[in-house]
């Protein structure tokens, strides 16, 4: 049987499949902290989304705002070692086949700066691919290292530059040595912006033969090594250091643009509502789109409804509630005011009590828990939850569960209560 090049520990590819790392300690720590519902006394930029612009909330979602935490928090990046942050770095090192990994807070650019400062310090010489990203050039300026540029191959047919070949790299390294300024490091790019991977193993061989370390800017290939049909990662091919980041890969966050969001959301709303109506599901106008959207999102085809669509929907809800008030309603409210007021206060206090139970059980904010347990029009509660920054998913889940139980329990309750 042919050995699987993707297998763990394979000489062709040291990177391991993501399925072999079922834990995400840093994300878990962020979630535990972000969703615990406590009041935040952080710097103003990290208040968990309170008072955030509705447009930003609709683009990112309430959960992302809750997880926007500052650095240096006990139990996340501070505390007994290894902290969740350190454990996540160890897992990343293991996944990429590195001895050590440092997470970057300023993208791959910062990684390139750090690599230049560490491996091409003041007055030392290094060979640098001519079409490197500006951050490598900036890194050399910062470090004071002296670059010897090596040209990439040029594709006349396509009119674009690719990577450097081992031959070109070897020649430049020899030239630097012949000039009495041997290079300590070689900085190359693989894959390029256009997706062309260099012969990293060949480059590593010539660099090491010349006494230089090989550093690969793998910003466009953080996914390399994670699938059997992709080239291995640079570290697995013998590079001594690499920088990478998610913006250049398919693993980075992908958010549907507003127009696409509307194109997906509108048909989902209509199809879901019509289907639920046909199936005679109670509150089908709400439950149908809800179930359909949840199924699509679970299948990876979700979309963010644009702000204007949300505002239009909220306007319709407001209109519906407002149109129910007529003169007779006003008169009845006047007559029943004291009793209604007492009932409203009672319900509010009851919901607050239930909310406290939910806070303890689910580790959610009090507002989320309160709105989740508030009886009444689900759509109106959702609109308030959205505007107030509560976790709409939790509110919806609890409310939908209540609705479902009510629907299931209604026939039984009616039978039991019917006078015999």
Ligand X SMILES: Cc1ncc(COP(=O)(O)O)c(C=O)c1O
Which positions lie near ligand X, rule CB under 6 A?
Answer: 107-109, 112, 133, 135, 189, 193, 217, 219-220, 245, 247
226 neighbors 198 (Cβ within 8 angstroms): no
Identity of the residue, 186 or 210, whose beta carbon is nearer to ligand X in the bound complex: 186
In whole angstroms, give the CA distance from residue 89 to residue 101: 6
* Shortest distance, position 109 Cβ to ligand X, whole Å: 3
Minimum distance from residue 102 beta carbon to ligand X (Å): 14
| 104-to-91, 101, 112, 263, 329 alpha-carbon distances in Å | 15, 9, 10, 36, 61
User: How far apart are CB 127 and ligand X at their closest, in Å?
Assistant: 17
- Can you list the alpha helix ranges (DSSP code H) found in 37-83? 54-60, 62-66
The residues near 243 (Cβ < 8 Å, ≥ 6 apart) are 104, 108, 111, 112, 115, 215, 216, 217, 218, 219
How near is the Cβ of 220 to ligand X at its closest, in Å?
6
Question: What gap in Å lies between CA 204 and CA 194, rounded to an integer?
Answer: 22
Q: Which is nearer to ligand X, 219 or 265 (CB)?
A: 219
Q: Which is nearer to ligand X, 102 or 325 (CB)?
A: 102
C-beta closer to ligand X: residue 109 or 265 = 109
Q: DSSP character for 197?
A: P
Q: Least CB distance from residue 378 to ligand X, whole Å?
A: 42
Residue nearest to ligand X (CB): 107
d(CA 391, CA 385): 7
Please state, in angstroms and rounded to a whole number, the distance separating the CA atoms of residues 212 and 181.
12
Give the nearer residue to ligand X in terms of CB position, either 43 or 134.
134
Q: To the nearest whole angstrom, how small is the minimum distance from the Cβ of residue 217 to ligand X?
A: 5
CA 338 → CA 117, 167, 325, 330, 410, distances in Å? 74, 90, 19, 14, 29
13 vs 112, beta carbon nearer ligand X: 112
């Amino acid at each position: 049987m042919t050995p699987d090049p993707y297998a763990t520990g394979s000489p062709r590819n040291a990177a391991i499949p993501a399925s072999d790392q079922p834990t995400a300690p840093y994300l878990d720590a962020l979630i535990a902290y972000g969703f615990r519902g406590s009041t935040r006394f952080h710097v103003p930029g990290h208040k968990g989304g309170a008072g955030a612009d509705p447009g930003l909330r609709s683009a990112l979602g309430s959960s992302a705002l809750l997880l926007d935490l500052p650095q240096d928090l006990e139990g996340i990046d501070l505390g007994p070692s290894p902290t969740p942050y350190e454990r996540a770095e160890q897992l990343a090192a293991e996944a990429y086949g590195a001895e050590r990994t440092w997470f970057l807070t300023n993208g791959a650019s910062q990684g390139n700066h750090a690599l230049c400062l560490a491996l091409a310090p003041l007055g030392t010489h290094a060979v640098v691919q001519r079409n490197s990203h500006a951050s490598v050039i900036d890194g050399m300026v910062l470090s004071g290292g002296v670059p010897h540029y090596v040209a990439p191959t040029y594709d006349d047919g396509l009119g674009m530059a690719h990577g450097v070949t081992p031959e070109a790299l070897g020649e430049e390294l020899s030239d630097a040595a012949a000039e009495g300024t041997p290079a300590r490091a070689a900085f190359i790019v693989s894959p390029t912006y256009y997706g062309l991977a260099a012969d990293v193993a060949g480059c590593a061989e010539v660099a090491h033969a010349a006494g230089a370390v090989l550093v690969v800017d793998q910003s466009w290939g953080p996914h390399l090594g994670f699938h059997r049909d992709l080239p291995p990662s640079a570290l697995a091919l013998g590079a001594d250091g690499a920088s990478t980041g998610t913006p250049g890969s398919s693993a980075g966050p992908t958010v549907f643009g507003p127009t696409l969001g509307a194109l997906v959301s509108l048909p989902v709303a209509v199809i879901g509502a019509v289907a639920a109506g046909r199936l005679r599901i109670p509150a089908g106008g709400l439950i149908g789109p809800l179930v359909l959207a949840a199924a699509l999102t679970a299948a990876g085809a979700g979309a963010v409804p644009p702000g204007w669509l949300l505002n239009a929907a909220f306007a319709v809800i407001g209109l519906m509630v407002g149109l129910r008030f007529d003169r007779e309603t006003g008169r009845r409210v006047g007559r029943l005011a004291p009793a209604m007021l007492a009932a409203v206060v009672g319900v509010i206090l009851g919901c607050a009590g239930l909310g406290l139970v939910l806070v303890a059980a689910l580790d959610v904010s009090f507002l989320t828990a309160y709105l989740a347990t508030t009886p009444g029009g689900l759509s109106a509660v959702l609109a308030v939850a959205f505007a107030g920054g509560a976790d709409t998913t939790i509110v919806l889940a609890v409310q939908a569960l209540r609705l479902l139980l009510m629907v299931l329990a209604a026939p039984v309750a009616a039978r039991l209560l019917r006078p015999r």
